[in-house]
Structure 1
């Protein structure tokens, strides 16, 4: 940041999307959807980012239309979101809050739909029994945030959870080959002179590994990344891409009732899925629409290249691969 004599301005490399509504492009404001009272058709909400209260808006949606839901509700913490405060609740109160949004969203999911619910470790304790009472719990993903302040009286909180849930115990989408991770091979093993379980590409020697429920390859968006916004709890597109690719197919519809700055909607669009998002803050909705419009021209997802997910700090390798292919 620097001072231009009247106000603080960003450096040329700072790509953070944090404009206020007074400076939002008119084309963005025109694309923010709001709903009049009463039922709406799927055609009226598909591929739209809706500004409103999810607990009211979801009631207007048709039933059984979403193939995948990504749910990132406020964690059970004191947090401020664009002037709206979420206050820490007792475990029982937060469980009642969780059951409220489940009762609204569940009828909107197809019988074979999947659901991912985000939480920190404390919120997970309250969530677990409520989620298990309403869905089939398939797994709990833990991902490394690689950010956060240290604590002198406790361990630094560097992990978050994602609960993987399905409507049906057996019938659901899971595209394991779509979410493999590419790791560099340090000591390549050969059998009869041939590479075993690894391959050589233009960028080097790699092994495409099966995904696990611990993710250590996620980078939190930061100021020089085009996806970064001023939202305080933004999820990375790379993280959301794994969930969308694994649990939906091209042309499916992704529902996000707490859309924030639109990361899930943008990622769904880049991966050829339809989407419906709801966000209470008009400012955050505007940031999301701005990003959706940018995705018309840039469909790249940081850390996802050549149909696989790459480890952290491999951007140069990915660029080299794209250059060779180009």
Structure 2
């Protein structure tokens, strides 16, 4: 009815409060460019509301061991009350070089980066990334959401560029990012399981990670991590990058932090973090999620030190019961 506020379903866990109704203590925790940001202690585990191009120069150099960079894709998109308009490729490349120049001094010499993009943006930024970093890999992850198209293929994939500053000296913890897959046709040798394990919860093989990720679920309304942000990345996706390319106690820097997914995931995994986000509302949503992470360190799809395939919630619960 007109004038009445829509009431969400009890199962709808989406975080979408406005600033006037922010939970107690959230807004007070927001830092801005007007605060002292010049020392590590001043920015450690902080979420900063401001323009990255203004905030990054204020941060201390050689701050971050890992950067997760999810800039606006080169699309017409509205973020809160901020609009990003599609640019000519050369202009978007200039935009990319600007944030690279601002970010690069803030990285340690052995730092890694992950840069997120859609397929069209990926084509434009690849030359800029190659000029400034060592490209180690291009990861493709499968999004199960997306509109169908009658005159083209549905866009169901996105890219993540894995970059380093040093060709040989960087962190990569391969054993931290294995994927647990169900064994459909188990092979035995002398009656014993070969290259897989038989447990009370089922038959599994922990596989080496590849650069194609097909086990990611986009946040949706019944997931506690879901927010009203239009392009939110899943915590499971970010957990893979953080576990692979940082160690406990390292610092993760996100200059386009959105609703704080990278910061929340870093906290849950025992890392420090610094986030910068231009929208005050999104910053508040992220801080609320950070506060909740004090009591809930779970990451959907990540359990027992491995990443599980999609739609295996029952198996994960069974595995947990038998532990």
The interval holding the TM-score normalised by the smaller chain is: over 0.9
Q: What TM-score do you get using the length of structure 2 for normalisation?
A: 0.98
Paired position in structure 2 for 1:179: 177
Is 1:17 equivalent to 2:18 in the alignment?
no
SS at match of 2:316: helix
Paired positions, count: 323
SS at match of 1:246: helix
Alignment of 1:81-92 (within 5 A): 81-92=79-90
Q: Within 1, Cα distance between the matches of 2:165 and 2:176?
A: 21
Q: Residues 33 and 55 of structure 2 are in contact (CA less than 8 Å); yes or no, is this contact kept in structure 1?
A: yes
Which runs of no fewer than 5 residues in structure 1 stay unpaired?
none
Alignment of 1:42-53 (within 5 A): 42-53=40-51
Identify if the C-alpha distance between structure 1 residues 257 and 5 changes in structure 2 by more than 3 Å, giving closer, same or farther.
Answer: closer
- CA RMSD across the alignment: 1.2
Paired position in structure 2 for 1:222: 220
SS at match of 1:8: coil
Q: What TM-score do you get using the length of structure 1 for normalisation?
A: 0.97
Q: Residues 182 and 205 of structure 2 are in contact (CA less than 8 Å); yes or no, is this contact kept in structure 1?
A: yes
Measured after TM superposition, the shift of residue 268 of structure 1 is 0.1
More displaced stretch, 31-40 vs 214-223? 31-40
Q: Within 2, Cα distance between the matches of 1:283 and 1:261?
A: 8
Alpha-carbon deviations, 1:156-213, whole Å to 9, x = none? 0000000000000000000000000000001110111111000012311000000000
Q: Within 1, Cα distance between the matches of 2:158 and 2:289?
A: 25
Alignment of 1:1-326 (within 5 A): 6-36=4-34, 40-325=38-323
Identify if the C-alpha distance between structure 1 residues 107 and 28 changes in structure 2 by more than 3 Å, giving closer, same or farther.
Answer: same
The list of structure 1 runs, each at least 4 consecutive aligned residues, that deviate by more than 6 angstroms after superposition, is none
Identify if the C-alpha distance between structure 1 residues 204 and 169 changes in structure 2 by more than 3 Å, giving closer, same or farther.
Answer: same
SS at match of 2:26: helix
Q: Within 2, Cα distance between the matches of 1:178 and 1:25?
A: 35
Measured after TM superposition, the shift of residue 323 of structure 1 is 2.0
Measured after TM superposition, the shift of residue 56 of structure 1 is 0.3
Q: Within 2, Cα distance between the matches of 1:5 and 1:173?
A: 54
SS at match of 1:26: coil
Q: Within 2, Cα distance between the matches of 1:244 and 1:4?
A: 46
Q: Within 2, Cα distance between the matches of 1:230 and 1:137?
A: 33
Q: Within 2, Cα distance between the matches of 1:138 and 1:130?
A: 14
Which runs of no fewer than 5 residues in structure 2 stay unpaired?
none
